[in-house]
Amino acid sequence: MAYLELKNVCKTYGQGNNSTEVLSNINLKIEEGEFVAIVGFTGSGKTTLVNLINGLIKPTSGEVLFKGEPVVGTSHKRGVIFQNYSLLPWLTVYQNVAMAVKEAFPKESKTEIKERVVSFIKMVGLSHAIDKRPKELSGGMRQRVSVARALAMKPEMIIMDEPLGALDALTRGNLQDEILNIWSKDKRTALLITNDVDEGIYMADRIIPLKPGPKATLGPEFIIDIERPRDKTKLNDNINYIETRNKIIAYLMAIGESRKSVSNTEYVLPDATPKSFVGQF
Amino acid sequence: MKQEITLKKQHSGFAFFKQIASIVKSKFEKDAVSKSLKKTAITIVSILLFLGLWHLGSKALYNKEAAYRIEKALEEQGPAAADAERACIASGESRCQPNTLPSPTQVWASFMSLIADHHLIQAKKDAFNLKMESTNAKLIAQGKKAIVYTGRASFIDIVLTSIKTVFAGFLLALIIAVPIGVIIGLSPSLRSAFNWFIQIFKPVSPVVWYLLVFMIVKTLYIGASSDNAFVISFVSVGLCAMWATLVNTAMGVSSVDKDYINVAKVLKLGTFQKVFKVILPSSLPLIFTGLRITLSVAWMVLIAIELLAQSPGLGLFVWEEFQNGANDSNAKIIVAMFVIGIIGFLLDRLMLTIQQMVSFNKNEGI
Ligand SMILES: Nc1ncnc2c1ncn2[C@@H]1O[C@H](COP(=O)(O)OP(=O)(O)O)[C@@H](O)[C@H]1O
Ligand SMILES: [Mg+2]
């Protein structure tokens, strides 16, 4: 039995003539302790997929099973880091995290809750900003709060919806390492949604492309066979990395092309493999 | 010893930064000062211009009415009477002054006399209270009501009555409109059920609200000797002004950002927590926008309602001065007008400050 399993999941928004089938026949299995990344184009239905898994929305047909049980509503066992950080602007960093901790550990005493909140804020390196409100923080700092809030609830599985999409490259790299650090400490199951292939390869055990919508389905999986901890600076010399990366990009470009010209069923794969500029500057 | 040296070093470094900071700051402040000076100058010039135009206008009106009076005397009673009228007007005798728009100086004089009057009444009141002190103490000891001063109210008392009424009305509006707005906002079916009600009652004029409240309060207070003008006027003011808060609260509560709702769901907040920790805080900015409108509407309708309810506030003051037709009545009405305007402005500023304190940008957490 897989830890998380999606069986023939379809999701249609709207009704009658106005309906669009965003996701169609999604089948996905994730094992315990795995780190899986899903890459896809903007608007292909990645957030919809995440919301199906975390229980914010219900599938139109098919089943979402978490540890063998159908997902009904949200659960503290599945922590979510939203695409936009979704902090509550009228609460301080401490209060934002504390709100989650109080809900996840209702039996803990005030001091225990306080300790937990403070330790997670420390973990994401925001102790100095603990009493600030979101508007006083940079994008990267806000995302750290969002990470701390999700992790402080000690979820068994952590679901991240393009968590670093809005950040600049440097902050992004830092946070990638931090998330990996946290994940490797107690090997929780992780699902990462991203639009950045490099990010997926650097972080995940498996990458699964989501084809462009409507009626998006999952493509073939790509196993990332690079041993951890991975060294970003040496990835470009890793033959395994380059091969996997090229395969994924070629695949994505092909399905991207096919989306542009649906009538033209025949498409030519580009001869040239994309050149990587990572680490050259 | 070593520690001390490093400490000193830090200090001097710090002092250097402080100096730079103060230079930068003073430069900024200079800019800011000259800007605010300019602003003040423009305001002063425009005020002077306004006073000048007002002065000229009232003078023209004065001359027109004086000429008309002399003409009339000439037509009806002959040249001798006309000369007498002209002399009378020129002498400044109050009996034959043209009764028209008062000039700025007349209004100022009226204001000063109202203040002097206040001091006079205050002194009388103090004397009265002093005299009655022992009697009142006895009355209270016997379980009876103390005797209070019931003389004429001074202008300041009148203003205070108005402010008291408007705040009571505002509180009533807040107590009624915010909870109902929250409940309506939370439930779409209640919202459509209440919609016609709101649409119909929102545009009802203050006069009608007054009559409605009068009908009800009069019956409720039958037999009670206490004067109910205050109750009637603040209830009417509250009912008349609460609609903006009701509508804004309902709108704020029903349009909470989807992201916040998702957070509440993912954290599995209970209904109570969801309402008080997520929905209410996120609609506070709109609620306060509504409250600000409510307060300014309350102040605006107050004058008309006080007049109708015979409540001893500014509304009644203006009406009585108009009926009175004394020589300085017009000037007193203009004084009241300025006082009403300035207090309204200050109340709005107060609400604006509170509103800015509770508001946040929607994108701040996203
Ligand atoms: N609540 C909704 N109602 C209707 N259509 C929606 C809704 N949410 C998303 N969609 C549509 O579903 C598609 C996929 O959206 P989304 O899952 O947000 O994509 P992604 O996260 O990959 O950018 C988009 O075309 C979007 O317009
Ligand atoms: Mg998305």
How far B263 CA lies from chain A's nearest CA (Å)?
Answer: 7
> Could you tell me which of A124, A113, A132, A169 has the C-alpha nearest to residue A150?
A124
Residue A109 lies in a domain: no
Which chain B residues are closer than 8 Å to A90 by Cβ?
A: 281-282, 284, 360
User: CATH number for the domain including A209?
Assistant: 3.40.50.300
User: Per-residue pLDDT for chain A (281 aa), expressed as one digit of tens each?
Assistant: 789 999 999 999 988 888 899 999 999 999 999 999 999 988 899 999 999 999 999 999 999 999 999 999 999 999 999 988 899 999 999 999 999 999 999 999 999 999 999 999 998 889 999 999 999 998 889 988 999 999 899 999 999 999 888 778 888 888 898 888 888 887 889 999 998 999 999 999 999 999 987 888 998 999 988 888 888 888 888 888 888 899 999 998 888 887 765 544 455 555 665 565 555 45
Instruction: Using CA coordinates, name the residue in chain B closest to A75.
Output: B266
Instruction: Using CA coordinates, name the residue in chain A closest to B257.
Output: A86
What is the mean pLDDT of the segment spanning B345-362? Answer: 86
pLDDT of residue B27: 65
Q: Which residue has the higher pLDDT, A109 or B360?
A: A109
Residue A12 lies in a domain: yes
pLDDT of residue B24: 64
Residue A40 lies in a domain: yes
Residue A93 lies in a domain: no
Residue B136: pLDDT band (50, 70, 90) is confident
How far B282 CA lies from chain A's nearest CA (Å)?
Answer: 8
pLDDT of residue B47: 93
Can you say whether the dihedral through the CA atoms of A89, A92, A98, A99 is positive or negative?
negative
Work out the mean pLDDT of chain B and round it to a whole number. 86
pLDDT of residue B87: 84
pLDDT of residue B2: 42
Domain carrying residue A37: 1-70+185-281
Instruction: Output the DSSP codes for A55-119.
Output: TSS--SEEEEEETTEEP-S--TTEEEE-SS----TTS-HHHHHHHHHHHH-TTS-HHHHHHHHHH
Q: Which two tokens stand for residue B95?
A: 């009996």
Q: Which residue has the higher pLDDT, B11 or B88?
A: B88
Domain boundaries, chain B: 2-96, 153-364
Whole-complex ipTM = 0.85
pLDDT of residue A101: 95
pLDDT at B1 over 50: no
pLDDT digits (tens, 9 = 90+) for B29-49: 777 888 889 999 999 999 999
Protein fold of B153-364: MetI-like fold (1.10.3720)
A215 C-beta closer than 6 A to ligand 1:
no
Total tally of structural domains belonging to chain A: 1
Q: Give CA–CA dist A144/A129, Å, rounded.
A: 11
pLDDT of residue B4: 43
Residue B301: pLDDT band (50, 70, 90) is very high
Residue A199 lies in a domain: yes
pLDDT at B11 over 60: no
Chain B interface mutation, best of A86, A158, A167, highest count of B Cβ atoms under 10 Å: A86
Query: Beta partners for A222?
Result: A207
Q: Do B268 and A74 touch (CB under 8 A)?
A: yes
> Could you tell me which of A10, A34, A43 has the C-alpha nearest to residue A191?
A34
Cα first-last separation, chain B:
51
Which pTM does this prediction carry? Answer: 0.80
| Residue found under tokens 């809900």 | A103
pLDDT digits (tens, 9 = 90+) for B45-80: 999 999 999 999 999 998 898 888 888 888 888 888
Return the percentage of chain B with pLDDT > 90, whole number. Answer: 44
Q: What does the buried/exposed string (b/e) look like for A53-74 if buried means 16 or more CB atoms within 10 Å of the residue's CB?
A: bbbbeebbebebbbeeeebeeb
Cα first-last separation, chain A:
46
